[in-house]
Amino acid sequence: MFKLCVAAATFLASGAFAANIPSGDARRGEQLFQGQQCVACHSVNGRGGSKAPDLAKRIDRDYTPTAMASLMWNHAPDMWVAMQAQGITPPALTPEQSADLFAYFVSAHYFEKPGDAARGKRAFAAKHCADCHGIASSSFAGAPPVAKWDSLADPGLLAQQMWNHGGKMRQAFAQKKLEWAQLTGQELTDILVYLRNLPETKALPRGYHLAGSGSSRNLFQSKGCAGCHTGSNALETKLRDQSLTDIAANMWNHQPSMKNPPPTLSPDEMRQLLSYVWERQYFSGNGNADRGKKVFADKSCASCHNQPGSGAPSLAKGQDAYSDVTIVSLLWRHGPRMLGAMEQKKLPWPRFETQQMADLIAYLNSL
C-alpha cells in the first residue's frame, strides 16, 4: 500500500489537534491524476503534458501543502478555462480523492528540496557511504549495495533503515577511526537524487505509506520520545516546515547524542512515528484565526458565505476540520459555481498568498 496520512492535523487557534481528515493513497492518487486528465497539461517527473509546470520539479524551497492549496486555488479559473477548451469536465473531488492527490505528490517528492546529483555523488563519497556500500555489489560484509535499497523510493523506509542502521554504522566508523558523518537535509537530498537516478535504481517504483495517527501518539510515548521532546524541544517547533528527508537526516544526526540506546523501529512503527511528527509540523499550518477573519472579509468571502438567502453554504464546520486537503476538495466541488456567482456580482476571484490561506483555514476552524 502507498498510503499517506495527510490527516494534516491543522492546529486551531487554541493549538488543538484537528481530526477526521482523510488519509490518502498515492497509488489511487496517481490513477486519479491520469484518469481526470490532469496529465493533459501537467507532468510529473517529465511524464505528461508540457502546457503547465511539472509538479515534481520545484526551483524554490518555500513549498508546503498550504502553498500547493493556495496556488491551486489561485490558478483554478485558468485551469477550468483550459479544461473546457479541451472538452474536459473539471472533476468534483471528494476529500478522500483530494487526499489521494496529496499523497501522490508526496510520493513524487513534490515537497522535497531541489537536489543535485553531482553534489550527491561527491557527498556519497565524502561522507564515507561509498567505503562500504557499492552500487551493484559491496565488498563490505553486511553492507547491501545501493541497487538493493528499496528505501530509495519510500521516505518512510529510508528513515527506518537509516535509524536502525545507525548502531552498526557507529561501530564501523569507530573501527575505521572516522568521526560520525553528520548530514544536512540538503546533503541527504543530493545523495538521494544521485542514487535514484543511477541506471541500477531508476526502475524502482515510487512508494509512500504513512500510518494513520490513531495510535501514533501512544507509540511516541512508549518509545521514550515524549520524555525529551516536550516544551522547547517539541518536534512540531524544532522541525517546522521540514520535509521527510530533512527529518531522516535529523534522526541520523541525533543518534550519537542520545542518553540511552535508541529503540529499534519496525517499518510500521517508523511510519506511525513519522505520521505523528510530520503531521504536527508540516501539515499543521501556522495560521492565525484573527488574521484569517480579516482575510475572509477582505477577499469578499463574507459577501456570500454565512449570508441568509445567498445560496452559498455556511462555512461553520461540522464534525470535520478544514485543512489544505479539504480546501482543495471544496475548490473542485464548488469552485466553478462560485466563480459564476462572483462574476454575476462583478467580484474578482479571490487569490491567496500561502500565509493568507493558512490564516483562513485557522479562522474557518475557529467558527
| pLDDT at residue 57, rounded to an integer | 67
The answer to whether the beta carbons of residues 99 and 22 sit under 8 Å apart is yes
* Confidence check: pLDDT of 300 > 50: yes
| pLDDT at residue 119, rounded to an integer | 96
Confidence band (pLDDT; 50, 70, 90) for 19?
very low
The answer to whether the beta carbons of residues 365 and 10 sit under 8 Å apart is yes
Q: Would you kindly state where each structural domain of the chain is located, as residue ranges?
A: 3-111+285-366, 117-281
* Confidence check: pLDDT of 194 > 90: yes
- Three cell numbers written together for 329: 476538495
CA 152 to chain centre: 17
Q: 365: buried, middle or exposed (CB in 10 Å: 19+, 13-18, 0-12)?
A: buried
* Percent of the chain surpassing pLDDT 70: 80
**Residue where the block lists cell 510515548:** 221
- SS in 3 state form for 56-113? CCCCCCCCCHHHHHHHHHHHHHHHHHHHHHCCCCCCCCCHHHHHHHHHHHHHCCCCCC
| pLDDT at residue 2, rounded to an integer | 33
| pLDDT at residue 187, rounded to an integer | 94
Quote the CA–CA distance of 192 and 201 in Å, as a whole number. 11
How confident is the model over 262-275, as pLDDT tens digits?
888 888 888 777 76
| Residues forming a β-bridge with 4 | 24
Helix (H, G, I), strand (E, B) or coil at 47: strand
| Residues forming a β-bridge with 24 | 4
The answer for residues whose C-beta is within 8 angstroms of residue 212's C-beta and 6 or more apart is 5, 7, 23, 275
| pLDDT at residue 100, rounded to an integer | 83
Quote the CA–CA distance of 78 and 101 in Å, as a whole number. 20
The answer to whether the beta carbons of residues 46 and 316 sit under 8 Å apart is no
| pLDDT at residue 281, rounded to an integer | 58
E strands in the chain: 3-4, 24-25, 43-44, 47-48
pLDDT averaged over every residue in the chain: 78
How confident is the model over 205-218, as pLDDT tens digits?
666 654 544 567 78
% helix / strand / coil in the chain, to the nearest 5? 50, 0, 45
Alpha-carbon Rg for the chain, nearest whole angstrom, is 22
- Three cell numbers written together for 314: 455556511
Quote the CA–CA distance of 175 and 258 in Å, as a whole number. 21
Q: Which residue type sits at 319?
A: Q
What's the average model confidence in pLDDT over 123-141?
87
How distant, in Å, are the alpha carbons of 122, 156, 196 from that of 128? 10, 23, 18
Please tell me the least confidently modeled range out of 79-83, 105-109, 345-349.
105-109
Quote the CA–CA distance of 31 and 92 in Å, as a whole number. 15
Helix (H, G, I), strand (E, B) or coil at 29: helix
Confidence band (pLDDT; 50, 70, 90) for 357?
very high
- Three cell numbers written together for 149: 535499497
What's the average model confidence in pLDDT over 71-89?
88
Please tell me the least confidently modeled range out of 52-56, 58-62, 96-100, 318-322.
58-62
Provide the 8-state DSSP code for 279: H
What's the average model confidence in pLDDT over 338-345?
88
More confident site: 241 or 341: 341
More confident site: 72 or 153: 72
